[in-house]
Structure formats: C-alpha cells, structure tokens
Structure 1
Amino acid sequence: MHTDPASALELERVSRHFDGRAVLSEISLAIPSGKITCLLGQSGCGKSTLLRIISGVDRPDPGSRIRMGGTEIVGHGRFVEPEHRKIGFMFQDYALFPHLSVAENLAFGLRHLSKPARKDRVAEVAARIGLNHLLDRLPHSLSGGEQQRVALARALAPQPAILLMDEPFSNLDQGLRERVRRETVDILGGIGTTAIIVTHDPQEALAVGDLIVLMRAGRIEQVGTPFEIYDRPCSAYAAEFMGPCNRLTGVWAKGRIETPIGTFPASLDLPDGALALACIRPQALSIGPDGQGISARVVAKTFMGESELIDIMVHPLAQSLRMHSHVRIPVGIGEKVSLQLNGAQVHVFPEEPQGGGLPAA
C-alpha cells in the first residue's frame, strides 16, 4: 500500500456487508492532513458506516486496509482498538453528560493526565473556543449553539490526530447553523485539525469542505474540491446532487449535444446519433424581451426574497425549464419572453439508463 506523506488517513478497498448486503464497496481514499474532508451523500449511502469504521467502532470486511499517519491500523489481521487510534468523535446529538458541568465535560477524556495538567488543558481549549464564561454551567442551561461548541471543545481536548463529526450542525436552526458552521471552520483551521465531517447537505459541504467525497450506494461517486465537484461533475447524478439542474435529452453529433434549445460541446466519446443528456443549471438561463432569443412563455414565478425562481415553457419541450435570477424581472405569468443561455453552466453526459438519476425523495 503506497503511503502519501500529505495524507493523515488512507483507506484501501474498504468494504462492509450486513446480512449479505454491501453497505460499503471497495472504498479507496486519501484524507489530506490539516484539512476538512466532507463525506457527502443521501441517507443510507454508507457515509456514517465509513465514519464508524474509521473510528474503530465498527470493523470492515476482511481485505480492507486503513493507514493512519503511515501506520496500519486495520489490515493483515491487525485491528487497533478505538481508544488507541487518537481519533476524536463528535456526535450528532452532542452526547454531553447532563450531570457534569462544562468544565467536567471537557475534562472527561483527559483522565490519563495529572489533575494540574487536566486543569491546564481544559483552560486552554475553553479559551481557544470561547467557553470560559460557561465552564460552571450544566448542559441543559446552554443554547443549541453553546452545546455544539462544548461538544467540539470536548472532542478537541485530548488533541486527536483526526476529528470525526457526524452531521454536527443538523440540530441547529438555519441562521444559527450558518454562524456556528463558520465558527467551527475557523476553529479547526486555526489549530490545523484534520477533520472528517459527514453531511447530507451539498450546500454545507461546499461551504465547509476543503475536499468533498460524494458517495452513492456504498461507493465513491466523485472526489474533488468544492469548485471541481460543482463546476466539473463526473456524472448526471453528481451534477444534480450538488445543485438543481434542468435535464434535457439530446442527440450527439460531431462533438456536441443537439437539444431543442441549442447545441453544446462536450468531451464525450460517443458515436454520432447516440442519445446524450444535458444538465443545465437554473442560473445558466436568462430571459429577455420576446424576439431576442428562443421563444418561450413564463408559466410560474416563486419569490424567494434574495432571488426569484421562474419557470418557462419552450416548444416542443414537455416540461418547463427553471431559471434562477438574483435580479427582479418584471414579467408576468403567461407573458412571452426570449430564452438566452450561458453555456458555461451546461454539463453533458451520456444518456443514463432509466432510473440512473437521483432517486425520488
């Protein structure tokens, strides 16, 4: 197994079966040191199982190998127990001890230290995360955001080499979630922590992750930076998971897909005449006065506050196209307009077999 010195953790062909069903299949992945990696995917795709295997709470199938800091912790009959892996785990529900003060919660994982050293470490981590004014409080008296910070501090107190976080922001209201998320990223970046965060929210992964691992049905669909995975998705599934898309089937000819609303080039190895799929981001569409583009009609408008969703119908398409605009467009429902396109937000893929896209919610 090749070891990358820039990797904090390396997984090779990690698999896990339950009752004969593959929950993880042949996962090979390098987690960069000092960065935040997001495991992203729908419920049931295997991301939380992978987190438990990394932590040592669950064992992978025989043949799986894991190295941490260049040392094998799983493989060839070797299995390092969780308490010896120097891995921290922050739970989705925070799992704070209700009868212990904040200071006592922070000290819980430091029992291997002397009492003075434990007290110094609690003071150090509390100061770094801004918890000094809360040290004597019990968890039930804290807000959701404060509980999240205490759970983060407790996980960081033993100075783990890697911090695992399972949906750490999902219990917070939207506005608070964004603020706490920013604070958490700043804290982790400030101390250079290697973190692996599980999330089902693509916007969260884009906002938080230095690296995104998109998972699908127990396998890795795509790995990349936020820009790579959003701007250059490897499949229609990846394109649609990372953000809304209008799907248009077209015909492949001479290096381009031909659709009822235009032709778009792509680097695909397809024979002429084959079916292909164009995934068009809502922000790729704009509208102007009738007669200055493709003839269309406005069929619905949804005001979102900072933006507006506009559904437009174009002949001969059976379904309307959705456009996302941050500019107020003074057009009414039923009005004729012209559709214009920005081809940079059009992603082209081979046509998938029926059922190849996102499953129904």
Structure 2
Amino acid sequence: MSTNPASLLELEHVSRHFDGRAVLNDISLTIPPGMITCLLGQSGCGKSTLLRIISGVDRPDPGGRILIDGTEVVGPGRFVEPEDRQIGFMFQDYALFPHLSVADNLTFGLRHLPRAARRERVGDVAERIGIEHLLDRYPHSLSGGEQQRVALARALAPQPAILLMDEPFSNLDQGLREKVRRETVETLRRMGTTAIIVTHDPQEALAVGDLIVLMRDGRIEQAGSPIDIYDCPCSVYAAEFMGPCNRLTGIWTEGRIETPIGTFPANLDLPDGTLALACIRPQALSIGPDGQGISARVIDKTFTGESEQIGIMIHPLAQPLRMHSHVRIPMAVGEKVSLQLNGAQVHVFSEQPLADKLDTDS
C-alpha cells in the first residue's frame, strides 16, 4: 500500500467564536510532517473545535489561514471543502456503519477508485493493521479493540495526507487501551503518517506525541516535545496539568526562591523580596538516612502496586507534601524520617494571580 508523502500543516491566527464567546483565540501553529502531534487539554479548551476546523467540518472566524504543504485551504475568500483536503478523520465513537461489513466500511471512502483498485486497497490496509480476518464481520460482532482498528483502517484507506483522531482510545478499558494505543502508534510511524490526536490525558500525550500542544481556554498554553513540556513547563498551569505538584510559596532573593524546605535557583527576572512559587514533583522527594535531610513525619501511606504515595508533614508547613516512591520503604505512619530533595524536579514561577490559582485547582 503506497502512501502520500507526509504533509506539513500550518495554522495562522485561527479563531472561532460561538455566541460571542471565544472557543479558539488566535491559534498559530505548525504541525510537522510525518510526526504525531497531541492536542492536549481539559474538556472545553477548544481542542476538538480546532480538529473540526482543520478537517473542514467547521469554519474559523474570518481572518485566519490554514495551509497544507504551502497550499491554502482556508483563507480570505477561500475555503476548500473537507472531501478535497486529503484529510482523514477518526471519530471518538468510531462511527462505523452498522449495516455494512468491515470490508464495506473500509471501501466507503474509496468509491472514486475502480472496483479492482478498491479491493486491492482494502486488502493492503487490512493486512497492515492486522484485520484481514475481520473483513466479513459486522461492527456489532467486534470487540472494542477490533472496532478501533477497523476505524483506523477506514481512516487510512484513502491515503490521507493528514490523519485527525479525536480521543481515539477513550472508549477502551485501561489494559486494552495501552495495547491498542501502542499498535496504533506503531502503524502510524511505520506508514509515516502526519497525525493529530486529541486527548485530555497527559500520560497518553507523553507516551504518544512527538509534539504536545497544551491548550487552555481556547489558546495554546505551551507547545513542545514531551520531555520539554514536562521538564520545562512555562507556567504553573502547564506544570500541574502534566503531573502532580506540591506548591510552596517562598521569597525571591538573588536568583533563588527561599522556602521552608530549601532554596532553589531559577531563571526568573523578579525583584528581590517578592513572592515566588515552587512546584515540586512528588518524585523529587525521597527518604534519606537518619539525620541526612529535613526532619519530617509520615502521616499517611497508600500502596498502588508499582509505587507508594506518601504524605509527609514538615514544620512549619500547614499542608503535607505528597511523595511518590518506587522503592519499598519500611516506615510506619507517624514515624519520623529524613526528607531529601532532587532539585531537578522543582519548577519555579512568579507568584500566580488568583484567577490562575482557581483555574489550576479546579
């Protein structure tokens, strides 16, 4: 099965308002060819609306532009219809036609091809995705994972330049989700497909994406590689969305934040004496030998199998710190311990405004 060359997608100042409310607000973004991009964010942040606009199912406000390989498909006075954009769309509920066999579902987007070419294309894509044995079956007789693979095959059969996927793994249970996700990513990479996947799950985005675009209230909060966006978050919101954090307010002095549990440097331009905020990952905390660390007390422990989640109280903090440990530590609730910190997992920001605090706490 030959495929179209991977395509570059460019968005320039794309906005979308509904009833006067900005669902998308001045989105500019470049999607690299042949890579998997994850649009990540809470429900209502605009990621699915952006996907519909890219596909052509919805139109942006006047003024924005969308280009595929340098060719404008949306712009002033120009709108290319969805069927002419060479874009595939895989829906969250798969949207398989229940009255058609798997083979006929795969054939649906190939009606422009001669009959022999349709049969060859269906056979090729079915072999690549491993669903040859399902071609005579109907959707109602398939498991969730089988339906997902059929939906992927149907989206890829027309050889789209870009594949859009809206929460494609959310309908699967956890064990099956990881297996199908891994197989899907392997297929996309093997075929060199430019893919955009919408997800609300940061762990899924970290596992899947070459590029992560974190969205918030219709805007792009941060875009970067999984490592960049996790290790170097641009805001408290980004840090906490990508994983749990302990918050500590401290005083900014000579390029460092001073907190009750330590002093941490950061590249911030703040006047000395102002408040700053340290976000400390739970895995930044560990228990050291007696007397080699900060005096603390264990207040609770939760065993989750691969790790333990531990609550640690330190004077004079009013709230406990949360710690994740993959090492079995023989300590009881109420026991005194020595807490140590890995500064690489501490992110420092200027003290955020109240609105930001309410947003990230929600």
TM-score interval, smaller chain: over 0.9
Identity %: 82
Offset from partner CA, 1:250-296 (integer Å, 9 cap, x none): 00000000000000000000000010000000000011344221110
Letter in 2 for 1:291: G
Letter in 2 for 1:54: I
What SS is found at the alignment partner of 1:146? Answer: helix
Name the residue aligned to 1:41: 41
Map of 1:225-264 to 2, 5 A cutoff?
Answer: 225-264=225-264
Offset from partner CA, 1:208-246 (integer Å, 9 cap, x none): 000000000000000000000001111111000000000
The normalised TM-score by structure 2 is 0.97
Contact 2:12 2:29 (C-alpha < 8 Å) held by counterparts? yes
Are 2:347 and 1:347 aligned?
A: yes
Name the residue aligned to 1:330: 330
What SS is found at the alignment partner of 2:330? Answer: coil
What SS is found at the alignment partner of 1:175? Answer: helix
Instruction: Quote the offset at 1:76 in angstroms.
Output: 1.4
**288-297 or 312-321: bigger deviation:** 288-297
What SS is found at the alignment partner of 2:356? Answer: coil
What SS is found at the alignment partner of 2:89? Answer: strand
What SS is found at the alignment partner of 1:113? Answer: coil
Map of 1:144-223 to 2, 5 A cutoff?
Answer: 144-223=144-223
Name the residue aligned to 2:110: 110
Name the residue aligned to 1:69: 69
Offset from partner CA, 1:294-332 (integer Å, 9 cap, x none): 110000100000100010000010100001000011000
Distance (Å, rounded) in 1 between the aligned partners of 2:279 and 2:257? 11
Contact 1:255 1:268 (C-alpha < 8 Å) held by counterparts? yes
Distance (Å, rounded) in 2 between the aligned partners of 1:147 and 1:138? 10
Distance (Å, rounded) in 1 between the aligned partners of 2:109 and 2:31? 25
Name the residue aligned to 1:11: 11
Distance (Å, rounded) in 1 between the aligned partners of 2:7 and 2:25? 21
5+ residue gaps, structure 2: none
Instruction: Quote the offset at 1:7 in angstroms.
Output: 6.3
Map of 1:287-326 to 2, 5 A cutoff?
Answer: 287-326=287-326
- Structure 1 stretches (4+) deviating beyond 3 angstroms? 357-361
Alignment: residue pair count? 357
Letter in 2 for 1:37: T
Distance (Å, rounded) in 2 between the aligned partners of 1:245 and 1:7? 37
5+ residue gaps, structure 1: none
What SS is found at the alignment partner of 1:155? Answer: helix
What SS is found at the alignment partner of 1:88? Answer: strand
Distance (Å, rounded) in 2 between the aligned partners of 1:355 and 1:336? 37
Distance (Å, rounded) in 1 between the aligned partners of 2:34 and 2:185? 12
Distance (Å, rounded) in 1 between the aligned partners of 2:6 and 2:191? 17
Contact 2:24 2:218 (C-alpha < 8 Å) held by counterparts? yes
- The 1:54–1:359 alpha-carbon spacing in structure 2 relative to 1, beyond 3 Å, is same
Letter in 1 for 2:83: E
Distance (Å, rounded) in 2 between the aligned partners of 1:180 and 1:94? 14
Contact 1:7 1:30 (C-alpha < 8 Å) held by counterparts? no
CA RMSD after TM alignment: 1.1
Contact 1:10 1:68 (C-alpha < 8 Å) held by counterparts? yes
The normalised TM-score by structure 1 is 0.97
What SS is found at the alignment partner of 2:306? Answer: coil
Instruction: Quote the offset at 1:360 in angstroms.
Output: 4.2
Distance (Å, rounded) in 2 between the aligned partners of 1:257 and 1:247? 12
Distance (Å, rounded) in 2 between the aligned partners of 1:102 and 1:76? 40
Contact 2:14 2:64 (C-alpha < 8 Å) held by counterparts? yes
Offset from partner CA, 1:133-159 (integer Å, 9 cap, x none): 110000111110000000000000000
Distance (Å, rounded) in 2 between the aligned partners of 1:183 and 1:263? 45
Instruction: Quote the offset at 1:95 in angstroms.
Output: 0.4
Letter in 1 for 2:168: P
Are 2:277 and 1:277 aligned?
A: yes
